[in-house]
Chain A
């Protein structure tokens, strides 16, 4: 039940960010530092989420089939594959590596 609360709060805050752009005077957000932080934070969070999902299991680090998924996704992206193909490449690599016995 408590997950619902955080989920709805996340939705409300996401809308608050969006709405803020439309109502806050432009010069406040035009501060280059604000948009720079929005940009670096986007990169940092996505990099971190990639690593956590590839190599973390709870509070420990693990090298398993997900690293294969990471490599497969990188190859697909380098070949300019569309999003859905990249995701399928990641899933396929992890599934095949598990079939081959690497967990």
Chain B
């Protein structure tokens, strides 16, 4: 009988936590994002990285775009230094997210160092989509920890599956990489300016390919993009909205409810 209260308490806490909208959104985005760790794992081992190199990238680098960039350069025959440079330049935006999250969540002590590693598109979007500070915090940790766990698990699944595939081209895995990059780019192409930047950088890449070693055209495009960013006077957060909108589904239902309510009145 003395056991009962502590047995009840954790249960009710868990129920309370699941009542939090930010935690629910964080968990669903974790599952969606974690699952595509399968494609990262499979593409990584077929692009020339070993199983353990693949399994080092997911927990240590932990930023989908940069991880795909690293293996994408290696797959194209680029050097290690070119792969590192592309991944690092693509990771710059996480610094900006870190600044936003630091202002929002004000983590202290060891939490700061853990928060930093969990700072990615999805955790930032889940957190900044909330207005209540407690919910912002819960959303960040739910998405950050959830994705970290599932992303690493599914990377391993993909890496094991990928090593058993034989000829990756036969399965169209090089096509899968193309699709993955386009899918990462797509949500950022809202409006005319980002499309113009993407086209300019794509053209710069095509022109550079015959003249410089593999992997370097990507860095040429980065320079073009940086020059555009330096001289343009557009919105300061162009392309910086995280590539996911965890609240899209939610808003959609909200809109439906609003429409239904209007119909009733």
Q: Which residues of A contact B (CB under 8 A)?
A: 2-11, 13-15, 17-24, 26, 29-30, 32-61, 65-66, 68-70, 72-74, 76-77, 82-84, 86-96, 98
Contact = CB atoms under 8 A, between A and B. Distances in A.
Q: Dominant SS at the A interface?
A: helix
Contacts of A83: 32-33, 36, 39, 180, 183
B103 A73 contact: no
Interface residues of B, number: 110
Contact of B209 (A56, A70, A72, A96): A56
Interface stretch (B13-21, B65-73, B129-137): B65-73
Contacts of A5: 80
A44 B197 CA distance: 6
Contact of A35 (B53, B96, B117, B169): B96
B209 A17 contact: no
Contacts of B65: 42, 46
Given A23-B112, A46-B184, A59-B210, 10 more contacts: A3-B80, A11-B60, A18-B94, A39-B93, A53-B174, A61-B209, A68-B175, A74-B182, A87-B179, A94-B176
Contacts of A82: 32
B152 to A, nearest CB: 13
A29 to B, nearest CB: 4
A81 B162 CA distance: 23
Nearest to A4: B53
B210 A60 contact: yes
A66 B174 contact: yes
B22 interface: no
Interface in B76-124: 76-77, 79-81, 83-84, 86-103, 107, 112-113, 115-117, 119
A40 B229 contact: yes
Contact of A33 (B83, B84, B184, B229): B229
Interface of B: 32-33, 35-36, 38-39, 49, 53, 56-57, 60-63, 65-66, 68-70, 72-77, 79-81, 83-84, 86-103, 107, 112-113, 115-117, 119, 169-186, 188-189, 194, 197-202, 204-206, 209-214, 217-218, 220-222, 224-226, 228-230, 232, 234-240
A46 B94 contact: no
Contacts of B72: 49, 52-53
Kindly name the residue among A39, A87, A92 whose own CB sees the greatest number of chain B CB atoms within 10 A: A39
Contact of B188 (A43, A54, A58): A43
A52 B205 contact: yes
A45 B69 contact: yes
Contact of B99 (A7, A24, A33, A73): A24
